[in-house]
Structures are given as C-alpha cells and as structure tokens.
Amino acid sequence: MLKRLVDWCLRYCEDQDRDMNPKAHQAFYSACQGIMYVLCFHMKSIMNVPTLKSQLLLMPIEPVLRHKLGPLEVCLPSIVNEFLKQAKAAHLFTISKAFIFEDLLESDLSRDFGGLERLDMFFPFDPCLLKRCDRGFIRPNFIYWNHVKTTYDDDEEDSSDEDIADDFGVVNEDNFMQEGIARSFDRDIDLDEFDFVMNKMSITPKNTSGFQFGGARMPSKIRPSTSPESM
C-alpha cells in the first residue's frame, strides 16, 4: 500500500509542470503527508527487515519530496520534521548525501496557509470520538506514538535535535508528533471526558490476528442514532 501511494505521487509529479499550490494539489500534498506519517511510525521496523528495507530504499520517495510542487513546504511541519529526523538517522536517501531543503518550516505555506484547506485539518489519523467503538474495537488495535521505536533512538546521545535540524535547514520544535496529531482537536472539543491521552493515538494497526471481537458479526446495516448513549 505504501508503494502504491509513493508511485501515485511520482506519477502525479511527472504530469505536473507547475509550482506549489496547496489548494490546487491538495490530494497530492495529503498523500505525501500520509507517506511521511506512516514512515514516522514504521521506518525503524521496516529498516530492521532486509527485504522490506530494500523495497523502501527502492521507492522513489526522494524525487517526490524534491519536486517543485514542494510537499515539504506545504505538509504539516510537525510531521515533516519528525520524518526528516528519522530519514537522516536511517540513511533513507541514498542518492544525494546532502538532502537539502532550505527553510522548510519557515515557509508561509506550511505555517500560515489558512482556511478549510489547511493540511493540519486534513488529518484522518485523529482519535475516534465514539467511545464505544474506540474502547471495543479501535483502541486494542492501535499503536500509540509514545510506544514507537524511532530510527534515531540509538543515536540520541550522539546527535541532538538541533544538529539534525541544522543539517536539513529546518527550525526545531518540541513534541512534533504530539502537536501535529492533536492540532485539529484543540478547538471546540472537551478531551477531558476521555480516559486516555487521545493525542498519542495513531491509526497504525497492530497485528490483529490475536484479537477477537467476541464472535459478534457486524450488522448488515448501520442506522444513525440520535441517542447520547450511543456516543
């Protein structure tokens, strides 16, 4: 699935001869953001398996991110920062030793792009707000960000966040992923009613082979309910 998404982005780049435009290329930027988000959670585990590592290194991620559509200047800065940090530690980009993106997080496009088209509003990985669905079906099958092993875990003593940010020409921020995941939910929603830290939840599924749903089958039709108890 990741390869399909990367290949689609590459084909999109090959068909485009325009400069960056978040409004005109929203699907493309959302796909790029999804690629980086998935790799933030899985890059270390992929790089630890030789066959998967080879497949990842062969994916045309670098030409997509270096395209003049400028996905790294438009996508959510917290995800871009975390992705670049892990990509550097994992030596993901083998073609160019100096994978340089000037002033990534200082771009007005990534910081101030407003309206309903903001990419931090397009975040399908946010926590599920339906309590029963979450507790019974979703939460047992999801990986939390604070449980993720990153590619730079082994190098934290040797390389600081500031050094890595300098190498990529980016501005360092604190709590990149937590801030990014929670950003679209920090308005108009009272998260105190939930008994877990929602902003650390990911859509990344675990191996669900050992998890049973009590033998219950999903109904053929799901009717909307207006009852507060259904929440």
Q: Total domain count for the chain?
A: 1
Share of the chain above pLDDT 90, in %: 22
Is residue 118 included in any domain, yes or no?
A: yes
Residue 25 makes CB contacts below 8 A (sequence gap 6+) with 12, 16, 69
What integer pLDDT is reported at residue 72 of this predicted model? 86
Structure tokens at 183: 């950003």
Residue 83 makes CB contacts below 8 A (sequence gap 6+) with 36, 37, 39, 40
Is residue 231 included in any domain, yes or no?
A: no
Task: Answer yes or no: is pLDDT of 121 > 80.
Answer: no
Is residue 229 included in any domain, yes or no?
A: no
66-114 pLDDT, tens per residue?
898 888 888 888 888 899 989 988 888 765 544 544 444 444 444 444 3
- Contact between residue 72 and residue 65 where contact means Cβ atoms under 8 Å apart: yes
pTM value is 0.60
Is residue 218 included in any domain, yes or no?
A: no
For residue 153, the enclosing domain spans 2-207
Give dist(CA 69, CA 21) in Å, integer: 7
What integer pLDDT is reported at residue 81 of this predicted model? 87
Is residue 45 included in any domain, yes or no?
A: yes
Residue 167 makes CB contacts below 8 A (sequence gap 6+) with 88
